[in-house]
Amino acid sequence: MLDLAENAPAGGLNAAALRAKVDELNARYRHHSATAVMQGALKEAGNIALVSSFGAESVVLLHMAAVADRSTPILFIDTEMLFTETLVYQTEVSERLGLTNVRIIRAGDIAARDPDGTLHRSDPDACCTLRKTEPLNKALAPFDGWITGRKRFQSGKRAALDFFEVEDGTGRIKINPLAHWAPEDVRAYMDENRLPRHPLVAQGYPSIGCAPCTSPVAEGEDPRAGRWRDQNKDECGIHFVNGKMVRIGANT
């Protein structure tokens, strides 16, 4: 496993060529399975990484990537505030699936910008930027695209989510193999392939982030109610809009 601080930027297609490539990929894979989209992305979309939180549903995409190519780059952001269970799960899943290119991403300036580890209390957005957004931005720089776990059912804006997208302002392709999946599809895949669950799911954590900002969810609550509870904040998967990193409700 590699411990990365930053990477050099990567080249890419011009905007018109990138759009044409994405349109062609969507046309070709429109009626294909998530597994086929994963395999096609790794073979035809350039230098691709899978960004994974090793959270509640992450093992599905990790398994698909392992079946397609165990050397697929897996980018895992260690915010240094994750649950111990997540760190153990990351190691166990990586070993079980035989993943050979898991890259552990950490910020290099936490000690200077959050010396006492309390930034999440005073400014949770700044904490996310420091520990998640900026390190991932650097780690993604060499890649032509990345694989996400976004799905159409997660919000109205995603009702028409395609398998392949042009990421605004970055010159990268964003791949969503699970775009058409419903929650029961995720559970069925995990059951059929006997994939290990994140241990905190059984303890009432259907959505898992950093330990200080994640709490158990009671029966009947929204699955994300335990993320930044009692704060005007509900962010997870990290994505680009107009060339800037934003965090929106996705499970990567």
pTM score over 0.75: yes
The backbone region for 204, taken as left when phi is positive above 0, alpha when psi lies in -120 to 50, beta otherwise, is: left
> How does pLDDT run across 18-27, given as a tens digit for each residue?
899 999 999 9
Residue 148 near residue 252 (C-beta atoms within 8 A) = yes
Q: Is 127 exposed, middle or buried (0-12, 13-18, 19+ CB in 10 A)?
A: buried
Per-residue pLDDT tens digits for 64-105: 999 999 999 999 999 999 999 999 999 999 999 999 999 999
Per residue in 94-126, pLDDT tens?
A: 999 999 999 999 999 999 999 999 999 999 999
> Of residues 127, 128, 210, 236, which has the active-site annotation?
236
Q: Which CATH architecture has domain 2-247?
A: 3-Layer(aba) Sandwich (3.40)
Is 213 designated active site?
no
Non-local CB neighbours of 103 within 8 Å, separated by 6+ positions: 1, 2, 3, 4, 73, 74, 75, 76, 139
pLDDT at 95: 98
How far CA 66 is from CA of 71, 97, 117, 197, in Å, comes to 8, 6, 35, 17
* pLDDT for 232: 63
Domain boundaries, the chain: 2-247
